A and B are shown apart, each in its own frame.
Chain A
Amino acid sequence: MKRTGKFYWLCQICGWGAYTVVGISSSVLEHGWTRDVWGYTFFFLYNIGLTHLLRGIIKHRHWASLPLPQVLLRLGVASVAIGVIQAALVVGIYTALEGSLGVWRDWHAVAFLWTGVTIATTVWNILYLAIVSLRHSREARRQQNQMQIALGNAELRALEAQLNPHFLFNCLNSIRGMIVEDAAHAQDMVTKLANILRYTLQRDRNHTVPIETELEAVSDYLALEAVRFEDRLRIHIDLTEEVRRLEIQAMLLQTLVENAINHGVEQSPESGLLSIRGVREGERLRIEVENTGTLQNPESRSTQIGLANARERLRILYAERATLDLLASQPGRVTATLLIPAIQ
């Protein structure tokens, strides 16, 4: 608000100052240093005074929020009225200083004076309106941006790859069975499940984590799936130390791995292979998650939704700098390829 006020006074003084200086200069050039200079000084002061008064009315009555034709009508009337008041003041002050009407005895001169100040006031009005609307639209845009960011966060939460409930309940069921068969193994499974749940619930949304951290959750997840699938699941992880230190969107790798399990390994009655590879390619990080299986038919909506959600999450965090593709890399193999900026 303070900055707005300063800017307003600067405009007022500079604008009317310039107008007055032009008046004084032409008067001095034409008639030399006469008392007209005083007249112009008063002119400067009450121009500022009157337009400041007008600004008060505009603000108080919220003219800026009225429809444009109404604003223009009001400002037009205000310009004419201010023109009349100013003309009266000029003539009044001149008469008070000189003791007679002088040149203002000619109504042409008064009309000329009135036209001049009305035009000046109109210009003031237009400038004032333009600045105010510009500021309003800027403010609106800023609010819109803020809203979009908030919306983005909400969207991200909605899109957030939740832990697959199908996995969760199957896992609990396996643990229930394991308690009878191998209590120590069952305890280990509970710990791993707790780790995954903690990771899913606690991780800082909207942020990245070192691949190493993500991989811990993925490994626990795979260990639990291995209990379910027993000899049906073979896992191969190939990530260098350098790659493991890079940052990745939380739950991204987990989503890809879960997808590979659900649509690949889970669907194949024989043993399924899952392999995770990562390479740094200059400024980019390429991660491939390959699984045995065939690409789901296009009508399978779950794959499409999962993929679309993952892409949307990528877009929110990495903008256009990330891609995710799902391809049948070779017969009986499906590969999800992720390209993201390599962030240390």
Chain B
Amino acid sequence: MKALIVDDERLARQELRRLLLAHSEIEICGEARSGEEALACIRRQAPEVLFLDIQMPGMTAFDLLEKLEDVPQIIFTTAFDIYALRAFEAGAIDYLVKPVAPNHLAAAISRLRPPASASSLQRVFVKESDRCWLVQTTDIYLLESEGNYTRLYFGNERALIPRSLSALENRLDSSVFFRASRRHLINLRWVAAVEPDVAGGLVIKLKPGIDVEMSRRRAALFRQALSF
């Protein structure tokens, strides 16, 4: 797996690089000293894993994540900013405290998912006031357009991100996400039931108990999509 080390301290980067020597599955594709450098490096190299220091000059780890369209898997590294990670849902992310213990590093690496074969969007960083999530796109059951913003439905959350629905649709796996209406994109893996409505369209019942109406024209496409 291609990994990028992001840390403003040379010794910290060097130390992590040395510890990663023991893990042949991790191939270090670069080092970045700041958020800006990391951004350029991610666009150029498309790493699958980021070892990301939270406190960096200029751009913090969170600022960096907000700028990323597709977020690689993240292992945060921090000296003492664990509180900064409390914004994340418990257990949603992995972090290492510095100095890094080799066994902790091994455990974090073992939890990494094998890289997805498709080039579709895997993970989205969502930040709402003081909370944030790294959402797996497979966990999103509904995307709802709100102008230039899109509301993501996942778990018990409905969070807004500053990206348009069509932009997201282009990056999502089209065999999983289906445009149910002008405003809605549904995750087919989360469909619980489909019922016809009086106008000849369909009502899609999603597992968390949300109904999405589908016009007659879209319903025809929907039947087509499911009938292959």
Contacts and interface: CB of A to CB of B under 8 A. Distances in A.
B55 A177 contact: no
Interface string A303-335: 000000000000000000000000000000000
A173 B18 CA distance: 13
B11 A173 contact: yes
A176 B96 CA distance: 15
A177 B15 contact: yes
Contacts of B14: 177, 181
Contacts of B23: none
Interface string A158-192: 00000001111110111011101100000000000
Nearest to B59: A269
B85 to A, nearest CB: 14
Interface residues of B, number: 21
A174 B97 CA distance: 13
B55 A169 contact: no
B98 A173 contact: yes
A169 B58 contact: no
A238 interface: no
A171 B219 CA distance: 61
Interface string A23-54: 00000000000000000000000000000000
A181 B17 CA distance: 13
Contact of B15 (A165, A173, A229, A269): A173
B11 A169 contact: no
Interface residues of A, number: 22
B9 A228 contact: yes
A267 B98 contact: no
Nearest to A174: B11
A180 B18 contact: yes
Contacts of B98: 169-170, 172-173
A325 B99 CA distance: 36
B109 to A, nearest CB: 19
A170 B9 contact: yes
B75 to A, nearest CB: 15
Nearest to B58: A269
A167 B78 CA distance: 11
Interface in A138-161: none
B97 A228 contact: no
Interface in B66-110: 79-81, 97-100
B10 interface: yes
Contacts of A173: 9, 11-12, 15, 79, 98-100
Contacts of A115: none
A172 B80 contact: no
Given A170-B98, A266-B55, A178 B81 contact: no
Contacts of B99: 169, 172-173, 176
A228 B11 contact: yes
Contacts of B10: 230
Contacts of A172: 98-99
16 contacts: A165-B80, A166-B79, A170-B79, A170-B98, A172-B98, A172-B99, A173-B9, A173-B11, A177-B11, A177-B14, A181-B14, A228-B11, A266-B55, A267-B58, A269-B36, A269-B58
